[in-house]
């Protein structure tokens, strides 16, 4: 069975600093995708970034980058130059050959001015 582990229930970061949110996954699939979503207090789920298991380069989308270490089965999200609006819950997710997506329990990020 697939499993996503986000070990940091809460993280604090100073505005303009970088922060790394941890995610490890467990899958027996050879081909899979890894995703990060942001959920602000308003409740919507916002897609941030995607990494395919065969992608050799780490994915980047603006201030977001995904530190993908396949051998360690980790897919950490790095947010550079944090902004107050980055305060939210962040979810790591994985989907492989079964079409069943698996989400982690999330990390709450608070950005201090």
Partner 1 sequence: DSGVTQTPKHLITATGQRVTLRCSPRSGDLSVYWYQQSLDQGLQFLIQYYNGEERAKGNILERFSAQQFPDLHSELNLSSLELGDSALYFCASSVGRIQETQYFGPGTRLLVL
Q: Is 102 in the site for partner 1 (CB under 8 A)?
A: yes
Site size toward partner 1 (CB under 8 A) is 25
For the chain, what is the largest distance between any 2 Cα atoms, rounded to a whole number of angstroms? 43
Rounded Cα–Cα distance for residues 30 and 12 (Å): 35
Among 18, 70, 98, 110, binds partner 1 (CB under 8 A): 98
What mask of x and - would describe binding to partner 1 in positions 44 to 83, judged by CB under 8 A?
xxxx--x-x-------------------------------
Question: Between residue 11 and residue 50, which ones bind partner 1 under the rule CB under 8 A?
Answer: 31-33, 35, 37, 43-47, 50
Which whole-number Å values give the CA distances from 106 to 16, 30, 103, in the listed order? 22, 25, 8
Q: Is residue 47 packed enough to be buried (19+ CB in 10 Å), middle (13-18) or exposed (0-12)?
A: exposed
Output the smallest distance, CB 43 to partner 1, in A.
Answer: 6
Residue 70 · residue 53 · CB < 8 Å: yes
**Interface pick for partner 1 out of 3, 80, 97, 110 (rule CB under 8 A):** 97
CB of 69 to partner 1, least distance (A): 18
């Amino acid at each position: 069975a697939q499993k996503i582990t986000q070990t940091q229930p809460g993280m604090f970061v100073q505005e303009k600093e970088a922060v790394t949110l941890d995610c490890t996954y467990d899958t027996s699939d050879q081909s899979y995708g890894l995703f990060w979503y942001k959920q602000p207090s308003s409740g919507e789920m916002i897609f941030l970034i995607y990494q395919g298991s065969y992608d050799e380069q780490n994915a980047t989308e603006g201030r977001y980058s995904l530190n993908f270490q396949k051998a360690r089965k980790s897919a950490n999200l790095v947010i550079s130059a944090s902004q107050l609006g980055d305060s939210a819950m962040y979810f790591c997710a994985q989907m492989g050959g079964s079409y069943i997506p698996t989400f982690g329990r999330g990390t709450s990020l608070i950005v201090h001015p």
